[in-house]
Every structure is written in structure tokens, then in C-alpha cells.
Structure 1
Amino acid sequence: MLDKLKQLVDFYEEVLAMPHRQEIARELRDEEDLFLLLLYCEMIGVPNPVYYYTLELYPYIIEKFHDWHLRMGMDKSPLSGIRCC
């Protein structure tokens, strides 16, 4: 009985989220773009107020940087310190 109820709740949430999937995906992509901007703004000359906290994230985010600059319409990395292509 509990499994059936869980399946019903999952189905209900899926039905509610279905028309908004593109909006949710767009918002998540925009949040990720803002996060990447915070990470790399110091390298492009914009003062970064959270530089101390984002510095340790560079090794983990470098793989996503390539996808980001391609999505922004740049064929090659705009930063000379980061070679991803």
C-alpha cells in the first residue's frame, strides 16, 4: 500500500513539473552560468567578492568551463590561463 501511494505521489509531481521542465532547465543553466562567472571573473578583470571561497573549486569546475564557453558562443577559451580546447 505504501509503495502504491509513493508511486501516486511521484506521478503527481511529474505531472505538475512536466509543463515547466524547460523553465526549470533554463533556470538551472542560468544559475550555473552565474556560478561560473563568479569563479572566473577575477581572471577577466572583474573584481570577485567571493574569490577566497571559489578558488578551491577551480579543479572541479574546469571540465564544465569548456561547455560554458561554447554555449556562450566562444569557439576557444576566452581566458589565457585556462586551456580547455
Structure 2
Amino acid sequence: MHEFYVGPYRQMFKREKQDEDDLFMIAVLGEALGVPDPAAYYTAELLPAVWDNFHAWHRRIGIPRSPLDHIGCC
């Protein structure tokens, strides 16, 4: 039954998951990207969780090289 209900919408769910992940990365990396972030103190502890996905994220959103000076992933 799961495949019956979810199957036709698989692409939509995947796209929405990527949008959520992009928003999460911007929230966590906002202070480093120069965006004023009142929750920077709380999101700083999440940085180790997003380092593994950072390269794929900035390539997916169209930034060819790392936007952060202190992170050289490319």
C-alpha cells in the first residue's frame, strides 16, 4: 500500500526534501555566509553535522567554489 500512495509522488518528495536540506544548511551556515542570524549560538553546534554535505550543497545550489573563505572543499 505504501508504494501505491507514495509511488506517483516520489519525485515531489525528493525535491521537497532537498529544499528542506538547503534551508537547513542556510540556517546553520548563515552566520558564516554573512547573514545575520539570531540563532547562531544554537546552530554552531550543528556545524559538524553538515560538513559532510557542504560540498554537494554548494554545487547543487549553483555555487561552483566554496563560498566560505575558511572552508576549502574544492
TM-score normalised by length of structure 2: 0.91
Farther off after superposition, 43-52 or 16-25: 43-52
Q: Which has the higher contact order (CA 8 A, sep 6+)?
A: 2
Structure 2 gap segments, 5+ residues each: none
Q: Distance in 2 between matches of 1:46 and 1:38?
A: 9
> Residue 18 of structure 2: which of 29, 46, 54 is its match?
29
> Residue 54 of structure 1: which of 30, 37, 43 is its match?
43
Q: Which has the larger radius of gyration?
A: 1
The Cα of 1:14 is off from its aligned counterpart by: 1.1
Q: Distance in 1 between matches of 2:49 and 2:55?
A: 12
The Cα of 1:49 is off from its aligned counterpart by: 2.2
Residue 56 of structure 2 aligns with which residue? 67
Tell me whether 1:83 sits opposite 2:65 in the alignment.
no
Residue 18 of structure 1 aligns with which residue? 7
Residue 5 of structure 1 aligns with which residue? none
The Cα of 1:66 is off from its aligned counterpart by: 0.3
Superposed CA RMSD in Å reads 1.0
Instruction: Give the fraction of aligned pairs with identical amino acids, expressed as a percent.
Output: 46
Structure 1 gap segments, 5+ residues each: 1-11
TM-score normalised by length of structure 1: 0.81
Farther off after superposition, 24-33 or 74-83: 74-83
User: Any runs of at least 4 consecutive aligned residues in structure 1 with deviations exceeding 6 A, and if so which?
Assistant: none
Residue 7 of structure 1 aligns with which residue? none
